[in-house]
Structure formats: structure tokens, C-alpha cells
Amino acid sequence: MPGTLYILATPIGNLEDTTFRAVRILGEVDLIAAEDTRHSLKLLNHFGISKPLTSYFDHNQQFKGERILQALRREKSVALISDAGTPCISDPGFNLVRAAVAEGIAVIPIPGPCAAVTALSASGLPSDTFTFAGFPPARQGKRRAFLNAMDHLPGTLLFYEAPHRLEETLRDIREVMGERQVVVARELTKIYEEFIRGTVTDVLSTVAQGKVRGEVVILVAPGEAAQEDAPPLPELLGRLLHDEGLTVKDAAKKAAEMTGVPKNTAYAEALRVRNGGKEC
């Protein structure tokens, strides 16, 4: 039996966000593969964990991935961690997970912090449907094309961005998507955690004063184009069920297509509307 590969999330700034399970697994595995071993040693030392460490980062992942797979084939268990948050989310890991899955090696996620989800949860922007798009391209032409491709997506858009590119990316968001509501979530879980909310122009005026430093997530509220054609979900479902006489299943399917709301959410809401607003 090959060993197990654990994809283990670590804090995005606050060590108290390490889970009990993460500490236990880190203490049990044979090998820890870390994006930056020196960085991860701080976390491991904090929890008194001493284990063989190896590096696994963007530029050595082909060679190191094979070494890690060899260890897994020899029944060793390996935990993959990144500098912060969940491996594979704008961090190395995908190629290793794909190779392990292809070989039938067990891959077990150990969930924990992720900056995108953390930001979304407290942003105050719609969270039922969202698109996480990682880092926008660094060059303006490509960045604008990238943003343009997302302009009509339903739900909230989430981007990671380097602080020194925040201002130019916000300017491009305004240029391509218009004056939307945005949130810049900064230094999440750390001492200077801050949510800067407002129109793109409002937020740009804060950013342009040079006050925004540290790590940031940009969240963009759904644009009018994504919302304007569809009335609120209960109203739309009421029309489809009562006026058009569709079944719950068909009404939910059509409403999901029209609004971008997930099908299971539309289905649950359709049942509620059919029952006169009562939960089933």
C-alpha cells in the first residue's frame, strides 16, 4: 500500500488558526514538503514539531514531485504545506496531487485557512455564487483582457493581488467593468486587518494615498449586466411555478440559468416558494 499525501492548510497570518488536526497530522507524517522550509520551520517550531522537511516550490516541482511520489510509493506519508493558506490555491501542489491521484495514491485534504474564502465571508458581498480567479496577469493588456472575460460572470469576483499592483488593477477594473462596489481585504487575521469598502473610485482614493500595504484580496460585486435581467429569486420562481406552471425541477433549472445561482440553491428555494414560503 502506498502512503498518504496530505494537502494541509496552514494559517494566513495568525498561528491560532492552525487546526488541531493539522498539528496532529504534521506530527505524524514521515515527511513534510514545504514551499519554503525556513518559513515553515517557524510554524513547526511553534508547535514543537520536528520532522524531516523537504522543499517543494514552483521551480523544483518536477524534480521534487518525483522524489515525493517515490516516498509515497515506499509507504511513507507526506504532508504538503505552502507558506500560507491552502496548498494548490494560487500555490504549488496541483501537479503533485494530479500525479498522486493518477497512481491511486490516497490524497487527503486537511482544511483550514484560505485568504479568498476568509475575505469573502466578511466582505458583505454576495457569497452564494462567486468566482475565484487567482492573480490577474501583471501586464496591463493581458490583465484587461482577463478582466473583460469576467465582466459578465454572475456573483462576486475574487482576485489575489500584490500590494504594489493594487492601484493599477483597481483602475483596470473600473475601466473594464465600470463603477462597481469593491472590497479590498487586507492583512486578514493579522494585527492590521482591514476591509476597505466602497465604489472602485472610493477605494482607489484610499489606495492612492499610499495607505494600503501588506497582503490583499480584491472582491468585486456582481455587475448590473449579470443581474439586471433577472428579478429576485423568490419572485422569479413564483412566476415560473405559478404563472408558467413549471415543475419545481424545471423552474429551479431555469432560474439557475437566468440568475447564475447554483441549481441546488434554486431547487431548495423553489420548494420553499411552492410551499407558500414554508421550509420543507
Q: Please tell me the count of residues contacting ligand SAM according to CB under 6 A.
A: 24
Residue 185 binds to ligand SAM (criterion: CB under 6 A): yes
Considering the rule CB under 6 A, would residue 18 count as an interface residue with ligand SAM? no
Grid cell for residue 164: 504594489
* Least spacing, CB of residue 195 vs ligand SAM, in Å: 10
Contact status: 12 vs ligand SAM (CB under 6 A): yes
123 lies in the site for ligand SAM, by CB under 6 A: no
Q: How many CB atoms lie within 10 A of CB 261?
A: 22
160, 219, 226, 260: residue in contact with ligand SAM (rule CB under 6 A): 160
User: From the list 19, 37, 90, 199, which residue makes contact with ligand SAM (rule: CB under 6 A)?
Assistant: 90
State yes or no: residue 56 binds ligand SAM (CB under 6 A): no
Q: Considering only residues 96-115, where is the footprint of ligand SAM by CB under 6 A?
A: 114-115
Name the grid cell of 10: 496552514
Query: Does 7 engage in binding with ligand SAM (CB under 6 A)?
Result: no
Between CA 246 and CA 252 the distance in angstroms is 9
Tell the smallest beta-carbon distance from residue 99 to ligand SAM (Å). 19
Angle 78-84-88 from CA coordinates, rounded to 5°: 60
**19 near ligand SAM (CB under 6 A):** no
**Contact region for ligand SAM (CB under 6 A) — 100-108, 154-162, 170-178, 265-273?**
154-162
Q: Which residues bind ligand SAM (CB under 6 A)?
A: 12-13, 82, 84-86, 89-91, 114-116, 160-162, 185-190, 215-217
